[in-house]
Amino acid sequence: MFTSQQKKFIAIGVVAGVVVLVVALRFTIRPASPLPTPVSDIERYFTFPAVDPQVDPIIAERERKNFDTLTAALRQDPEIFDAWLSLGGIKKMMGDFTGAAEIWEYAGMQRPSSSIAFQNLGDLYANYLKDYPKAETAFRRAIKNSAGEEKNALFYMSLFDLYHYRLQDSAKAAAALEEGIAANSWSVQLLVKAARYESELGNRTKALGYYAAAVKLVPTDKLLAEEYRKYRNQQ
């Protein structure tokens, strides 16, 4: 058994030991230095591009101001989807096609159900960056995302243009129009484009069928009716 005096010394020793331990830990276990704040991922999209020499300086200056306005808005609220679309459009206008593609790719990731972002990408890859596999993928995504909407027919025509003018694949071009018409039977534009294309290919029966379907949809269109009449009367 400890005397009261011994207990007193033991208690003092325990307290002293705890103080020493706290002091020791304070100097031996230093808190980790705070990590540097990373630059926001979106900042890399906010650099105004080098301007193509063919761009009018007045237009370039105007678009620089628009660019600054858009980036300021996106810093405040990165969810403004239309601002991303416009930002990519400015980069494309200034001749920075790669930069435009990066922005629209980012917009597509943020809004995967969008059709416009992917249509923009399809046009960019098909007609400017000449990356036809990526163009096809983008157009297909735009078509999928716009099913049932009026612009779906326009996206099918973009896919047709890719197959016809860029890839020069008549089978895929014709199939794209056929698929588009099946999905958009109301589209006179698709029907007329298909009629003219099948006529070019020498597929008279198909061309007549498409013409007839188009005229049935717009019986008051005199120019279309005359075009159909002339083709039908050709020997």
- For residues 63, 65, 67 and 72, what is the CA-based torsion angle, rounded to 10 degrees? -170
- Tracing tokens 């860029």 back to the chain, one arrives at 166
Q: Answer yes or no: is pLDDT of 32 > 90.
A: no
What integer is the mean pLDDT of 14-29? 32
- Sorting pLDDT into bands at 50, 70 and 90, what band is 195? very high
Between 157 and 20, the higher pLDDT residue = 157
- Sorting pLDDT into bands at 50, 70 and 90, what band is 12? very low
Q: Answer yes or no: is pLDDT of 11 > 50.
A: no
Q: What are phi and psi of 190, to 5 degrees?
A: -65, -40
Q: Give the per-residue pLDDT at 168.
A: 97
Residue 80: C-alpha distances to residues 22, 77, 124, 140, 143 (Å): 51, 6, 22, 24, 23
Residue 13: C-alpha distances to residues 47, 169, 208 (Å): 65, 91, 106
Within 10 angstroms of residue 178's Cβ, the number of other Cβ atoms is 16
Percent of the chain with pLDDT over 70: 83
Q: Which tokens in the block code for residue 135? A: 């163009």
What integer is the mean pLDDT of 183-201? 97
Residue (of 130, 184, 201) closest to 162 by Cα position: 130
- Sorting pLDDT into bands at 50, 70 and 90, what band is 161? very high
Between 66 and 37, the higher pLDDT residue = 66
- Sorting pLDDT into bands at 50, 70 and 90, what band is 13? very low
pTM for the model = 0.80
Q: Give the per-residue pLDDT at 41.
A: 84
Whether 123 and 139 have beta carbons less than 8 Å apart is answered as no
- Tracing tokens 């991303």 back to the chain, one arrives at 84
Whether 176 and 156 have beta carbons less than 8 Å apart is answered as yes
Q: Mean pLDDT of all residues in the chain? A: 86
Q: Answer yes or no: is pLDDT of 115 > 80.
A: yes
Residue (of 17, 19, 93, 104) closest to 54 by Cα position: 93
Q: Answer yes or no: is pLDDT of 175 > 80.
A: yes
Q: Give the per-residue pLDDT at 51.
A: 87
- How does pLDDT run across 40-86, given as a tens digit for each residue? 689 999 999 888 899 999 999 999 999 999 999 999 999 999 999 99
Q: Answer yes or no: is pLDDT of 173 > 60.
A: yes
Residue (of 172, 73, 157, 168) closest to 122 by Cα position: 157
